[in-house]
Structure 1
Amino acid sequence: MTPDWVDHALLAGPDDEVCLWFAGPVRRSALRAAVAERHAALSAAGLRPGGTLALRLPPSPAYVECLLAAWRVGAQVLLLDHRLTPHEVDDALARLEPQLLVRPLVEPDRALRGHHDAVAVAETLAGRPTASEHALVQLSSGSTGPSKVIGRSAVDLVAELERYAAIDGMPARGDRIVVLNSLAHTFGLVGALLHGLHVGARVVVPERTTVDGILDTLAAGSEPTTLFCVPFHLELLARVAAPPVLPLVRAITGGELIRPGLAEAFTSAYGVPLGECYGMTELGVIAMDTAGTLRPSVGPPAPGVEVRVDDGELLVRAPANPYLGPADPERWSAGWLRTRDAATVVDGRVTVLGRLDSQVSVGGLKVDLSEVEHTVAALPGVTEAVVVHDRGIEAFVALAEGVPAGDVERDLAARLAPFKRPRRVHVLAALPRTSSGKCSRDPAALRAATQR
């Protein structure tokens, strides 16, 4: 696909239409002009069609402009979350060898800011041009281990935009999207930012991601508003005692399964449905229920997505191998990608049951860690929970104020057979998360958080 897909799929629209809102409104005409200016600057810095650029900027107008401009040049963009440590950034640059790095002139303040006033600086690296047709390269979330390198072509991205546009309940022209998800990861990037640009829905990034900051942003507009978020944000918002009246029509969460009872708590507080999106960095959206009426199913497959279940594992049709560099050779084969998720597909609805690698043996008895985790998460007073098997089954939880840790162990004794119970329950102020907002399942990261 030629680079003009950016003009046709993302930049087209009425000149005076407000398409983005960071600190203030950004109209289509202004965005087109800014992207053209960035295009010229990146070309002057040496970026060419088939070149490679690593983009490490916080959410900002500069981030959107540089991303679209690099694609417009015809380059491949490696997205690096701005919250990555210098060590993680250096590792990614060494692995992927981009020719250009676009970074902030000043490192942003990390304290609960939704967007930043970033000044972009282009730095030339001793990298190499791309050897593939991928327009976008991302690193997987790393919630369960080392990140994988994943590539997606412009054709694939445009096809996903068409899938989103065909899903009932997705924001359309004249609507507003308030996005809390990372714009460097798939759901926030494609489902919110690129979808909004594609269909003409205004994409709004809050100034601050505190509860008050989110509520103020939701209340600041009059258009029908959809909130894009992860379960962490829902937990915060569901605790608000008396939420204000908002132009909110729905919220849609993605990235991980929500705990039992959270959807009901959120809907009771705000009077709007909570939809769920199931997808992968490798493929984008796979299944979606924007109305939240099919729970525990995450909905029917998205338009054009083909799924099947093989020995309890969900497989998704993927014409090309999405992985760059070393990867599990069994993960993609003969046009099918193994999700590593246990699932059922009944009456055209996908129900995700948890990770297949959550099955462990305790004393010769099989235990599903997903079952244990759901049981822990559903206990009164538990606001977050992760269950892992490291030196035995261990639970890491965050509790509502005033809930004693002993209550968790007492309630578990009444709900789980002894061989299923966590050997230890660690209480943390908050669970560690990956840069995409998912709870980390890396035992080393969880132990480090416990020590802190």
Structure 2
Amino acid sequence: MTTALNHRLGGGFLHHAALLPDHVALTAQGRDVTYAEAADTARRWATLLVEAVGRRPRRVAVFAQRSVTSYLGVAAPLLAGAAFVPLNRKYPRERTLTMLERAEVDAVLADAASLPQLPELLRSLPRRPIVLLPDTLRADAPDLGDARVLDAADLAAATAMDRFPEVSSQDPAYLLFTSGSTGAPKGVPVTHANVRAFLDANQDRYALTPDDRLTQTFEQTFDLSVFDLFMAWEHGARVCAMDPLELLAPFKYLERNQITVWFSVPSVAAVLRRRGVLKPGTMPTLRWSLFCGEALPRAAAEDWQTAAPNSVVENLYGPTELTIACTVHRWDPRTSPAQCVHDNVPIGRPYPGLHPLVVDEELAPVPDGGTGELCMAGPQTAPGYWRAPELTAERFFERDGRTYYRTGDLVRLQDGEFVCLGRNDQQVKIGGHRVELGEIEAVLRRAGAAEAVCLLWPDTQTVSAVVSGANAPDALSDACAAGLPAYMVPRSVHVVDAMPVNANGKVDRPALRRLLDERSGNS
């Protein structure tokens, strides 16, 4: 073991605990947690993880949500030399079980609110992981079968780890599961080197200090949450976890907590704009306003800039496979509106050290100014999909000594920056979440539909399904609700006798849209 932590995620967290012990690292659940308390807690949990597993753990599931346990729960596995695997109690049991099975975790760290779901999950696993209950006593926990349980008392009595297991820069820092077209989530292992490259590029850009306070608006199963936690903790700043309800009217929260860095999906800004509450000067404390996860509408950027006049507004873009974000556009009220395409803000220029490549369907480069699929290589490129070599071969390729990831996004280089023109496949963004429509279709077919086609209708944030060979749309909707996260459940299910096809024998999606328009009276 070694105390060398400079190359791995979490090293700055301990550095600032020693440098600024009384500085607040986390505000969550009405509590302020100092760096000294946060580091001591995470180090105790790390000690128990290593002792209980009997070696450096490989992967630790964090089955917790928007709690002190959930946030410090990602720090403890990192200090123990493990990758953290975020889970979400809002997800259906089968989906969570699939993630646990595929990740083959050594331990599960659960908060009290998520604990009721754990017994059934453990019973379904072929191998019982160790269970850590940081905020629960064993006597208050449900029956967890033959799993070894370490409770709040064990954790309080543990010795804080001071020598940390060796970790390679190429070891995974976290394993995140995203939507998969086969009907099951796919894992993306993101290495310490990937995250370090991302954090360093962003610190060069944003120059955060211990005086900064960052929002945490994301679920931890959304990789954008990593930005908030570790951009704060690597630089001695405070991260403030917002309740989802506070996003509907964030202004008092921002003022009360003196927030300087805002980060959310663009739909939050779009909703606030539609409600007419982005009044001039309502967010004066912000110095950075960052958006990522979906297209940023021009009007939302304009109104947010007016509401946060001391803030620089930026649009970030990037899939999980390229570590959180890989391009960025800085909004300029004088020039950016003219650069927008389809009324969306450009996705901008690549981060330093990244190599973009725009290709056609045969992976041949397109001329500058031409439209093609954006591919990216560089230190932020993940090593591939978790134990899925065939899928990795589909989405990653080698060229000129570099490994490129195919984003599936169509872009065009315009005035030295990329603009995004949409998807070239069935992958869409709903509320900032990347969704494979094929995964929803697979659930519908398993539930009894002969054919199933999902599409965005009647707007770009609503999934609707068209099925054939089924007469019970309500049952299909119930199956989706039972097997998918809420944001993936179709708003409506429509039954047709047969799917329309085009000249190539493929499902005619434009014809399906026209059919839905006719049925709704919008034709």
> Which residue of the partner structure matches residue 408 of structure 1?
none
CA contact (8 A) 1:308 1:345 kept: no
Instruction: Report the CA distance between 1:66 and its aligned residue.
Output: 2.2
The correspondence for 2:26, drawn from 11, 17, 20, is 20
Tell me the amino acid that sits aligned with residue 327 of structure 2: A
> Which residue of the partner structure matches residue 314 of structure 2?
275
> Which residue of the partner structure matches residue 162 of structure 2?
none
Tell me the amino acid that sits aligned with residue 321 of structure 1: P
The correspondence for 1:99, drawn from 95, 103, 106, is 106
- Specify whether residues 283 and 19 from structure 1 end up closer, same or farther in structure 2 by C-alpha distance, changes over 3 A only: same
The correspondence for 1:313, drawn from 373, 379, 393, is 373
CA contact (8 A) 1:102 1:120 kept: no
- Specify whether residues 393 and 196 from structure 1 end up closer, same or farther in structure 2 by C-alpha distance, changes over 3 A only: closer
Rg bigger for which structure? 2
Q: Following the alignment from structure 1 to structure 2, what is the Cα–Cα distance between the partners of residues 86 and 393?
A: 25
- Specify whether residues 449 and 328 from structure 1 end up closer, same or farther in structure 2 by C-alpha distance, changes over 3 A only: farther
| Aligned 1:358-397 pairs, distance under 5 A | 395-397=457-459
| Aligned 1:191-202 pairs, distance under 5 A | 191-202=227-238
TM-score normalised by L of structure 1: 0.71
The correspondence for 1:182, drawn from 206, 210, 219, is 219
Instruction: Report the CA distance between 1:145 and its aligned residue.
Output: 6.2
CA contact (8 A) 1:177 1:202 kept: yes
> Which residue of the partner structure matches residue 357 of structure 1?
425
What fraction of aligned residue pairs are identical, expressed as a percent? 21
Tell me the amino acid that sits aligned with residue 26 of structure 2: L
> Which residue of the partner structure matches residue 407 of structure 2?
339
TM-score normalised by L of structure 2: 0.62
Q: Following the alignment from structure 2 to structure 1, what is the Cα–Cα distance between the partners of residues 295 and 484?
A: 17
CA RMSD across the alignment: 4.0
Q: Following the alignment from structure 2 to structure 1, what is the Cα–Cα distance between the partners of residues 182 and 213?
A: 33
| Aligned 1:243-258 pairs, distance under 5 A | 243=279, 244=282, 246-258=284-296
| Aligned 1:122-201 pairs, distance under 5 A | 133-141=171-179, 146-167=184-205, 169=206, 171-189=208-226, 191-201=227-237
CA contact (8 A) 1:396 1:446 kept: no
User: What secondary structure, in the 3-state scheme, does the structure 1 residue paired with 2:349 have?
Assistant: coil
Tell me the amino acid that sits aligned with residue 174 of structure 1: D
Q: Following the alignment from structure 1 to structure 2, what is the Cα–Cα distance between the partners of residues 392 and 138?
A: 24
Instruction: Report the CA distance between 1:6 and its aligned residue.
Output: 4.8
Instruction: Report the CA distance between 1:286 and its aligned residue.
Output: 0.5
CA contact (8 A) 1:57 1:63 kept: yes
Instruction: Report the CA distance between 1:120 and its aligned residue.
Output: 6.3
CA contact (8 A) 2:248 2:272 kept: no
Q: Following the alignment from structure 1 to structure 2, what is the Cα–Cα distance between the partners of residues 26 and 347?
A: 46
Instruction: Report the CA distance between 1:273 and its aligned residue.
Output: 4.8
- Specify whether residues 54 and 308 from structure 1 end up closer, same or farther in structure 2 by C-alpha distance, changes over 3 A only: same
User: What secondary structure, in the 3-state scheme, does the structure 1 residue paired with 2:257 have?
Assistant: coil
Instruction: Report the CA distance between 1:177 and its aligned residue.
Output: 1.0
Once the two structures are superposed, residues 148-187 of structure 1 have per-residue CA deviations (whole angstroms, 9 ceiling, x without a partner) of 21101222222221121122x4644312111212233221
> Which residue of the partner structure matches residue 234 of structure 1?
269
- Specify whether residues 208 and 314 from structure 1 end up closer, same or farther in structure 2 by C-alpha distance, changes over 3 A only: closer
User: What secondary structure, in the 3-state scheme, does the structure 1 residue paired with 2:201 have?
Assistant: helix
CA contact (8 A) 1:78 1:136 kept: yes
Q: Following the alignment from structure 1 to structure 2, what is the Cα–Cα distance between the partners of residues 276 and 148?
A: 26
Instruction: Report the CA distance between 1:315 and its aligned residue.
Output: 0.6
Q: Following the alignment from structure 2 to structure 1, what is the Cα–Cα distance between the partners of residues 290 and 181?
A: 21
Q: Following the alignment from structure 1 to structure 2, what is the Cα–Cα distance between the partners of residues 196 and 333?
A: 34
Once the two structures are superposed, residues 49-98 of structure 1 have per-residue CA deviations (whole angstroms, 9 ceiling, x without a partner) of 14322111112221222211111111232222332221211121222221
> Which residue of the partner structure matches residue 209 of structure 1?
245
Q: Following the alignment from structure 1 to structure 2, what is the Cα–Cα distance between the partners of residues 55 and 393?
A: 33
Q: Following the alignment from structure 1 to structure 2, what is the Cα–Cα distance between the partners of residues 262 and 396?
A: 21
CA contact (8 A) 1:250 1:291 kept: no
Instruction: Report the CA distance between 1:201 and its aligned residue.
Output: 2.4
How many matched pairs? 376
Tell me the amino acid that sits aligned with residue 323 of structure 1: Y
Instruction: Report the CA distance between 1:134 and its aligned residue.
Output: 1.8
The correspondence for 1:69, drawn from 51, 76, 94, is 76
Q: Following the alignment from structure 1 to structure 2, what is the Cα–Cα distance between the partners of residues 435 and 302?
A: 34
The correspondence for 2:135, drawn from 113, 119, 132, is 119
User: What secondary structure, in the 3-state scheme, does the structure 1 residue paired with 2:375 have?
Assistant: strand
Once the two structures are superposed, residues 396-428 of structure 1 have per-residue CA deviations (whole angstroms, 9 ceiling, x without a partner) of 3499xxxxxxxxxxxxxxxxxxxxxxxxxxxxx
Tell me the amino acid that sits aligned with residue 383 of structure 2: N
- Specify whether residues 120 and 330 from structure 1 end up closer, same or farther in structure 2 by C-alpha distance, changes over 3 A only: farther
Instruction: Report the CA distance between 1:269 and its aligned residue.
Output: 4.2
User: What secondary structure, in the 3-state scheme, does the structure 2 residue paired with 1:174 have?
Assistant: coil
Instruction: Report the CA distance between 1:342 and its aligned residue.
Output: 0.6
- Specify whether residues 396 and 304 from structure 1 end up closer, same or farther in structure 2 by C-alpha distance, changes over 3 A only: same
Tell me the amino acid that sits aligned with residue 101 of structure 1: V
The correspondence for 1:263, drawn from 301, 315, 327, is 301
User: What secondary structure, in the 3-state scheme, does the structure 2 residue paired with 1:396 have?
Assistant: coil
